[in-house]
């Protein structure tokens, strides 16, 4: 099933939304989420957008970025993480705010 979706997306380089993929392949709504998830995890599919605005493309998006970065000798930050310097700075700022507050009596 993933292979069929990949070949359909290769024929449509601008990408397709899940509803369009389902309609073109003649699938029910329940049948599509698992193959899309498997394709994303395997790196054969990539996506942009959120919820109903998600557009799927053939090929791995994030993996290509990581491979290019590794080739260029630089690191790619993980999603949802802060660089250590910013995390330390945020921690120091929070401590300073607590120190400035007068104690309740």
pLDDT 10s per residue in the chain (105 long)?
889 999 999 898 888 999 999 999 999 989 999 999 999 888 889 888 888 889 999 886 555 555 555 666 665 555 555 555 555 666 777 777 777 766 666
Domains along the sequence of the chain with CATH? 2-62 (1.10.10.10)
Q: Alpha-carbon distance 93 to 75, whole Å? A: 27
Prediction pTM value: 0.56
Residues 48 and 55 sit within 8 Å (Cβ to Cβ): yes
Q: Where are the alpha helices (DSSP H) in 26-103?
A: 33-42, 61-72, 84-100
* Helical (H) or strand (E) element with 3: helix 2-11
């Amino acid at each position: 099933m993933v292979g069929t979706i990949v070949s359909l997306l290769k024929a449509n380089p601008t990408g397709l939304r899940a509803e369009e993929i389902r309609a073109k392949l003649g699938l029910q709504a329940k049948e599509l989420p698992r193959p899309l998830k498997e394709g994303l995890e395997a790196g054969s599919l990539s996506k942009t957008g959120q919820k109903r605005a998600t557009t799927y493309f053939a090929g791995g998006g994030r993996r290509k970025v990581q491979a290019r970065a590794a080739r260029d000798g630089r690191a790619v930050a993980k999603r949802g993480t802060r660089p250590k310097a910013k995390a330390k700075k945020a921690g120091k700022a929070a401590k300073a705010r607590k120190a400035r507050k007068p104690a309740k009596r």
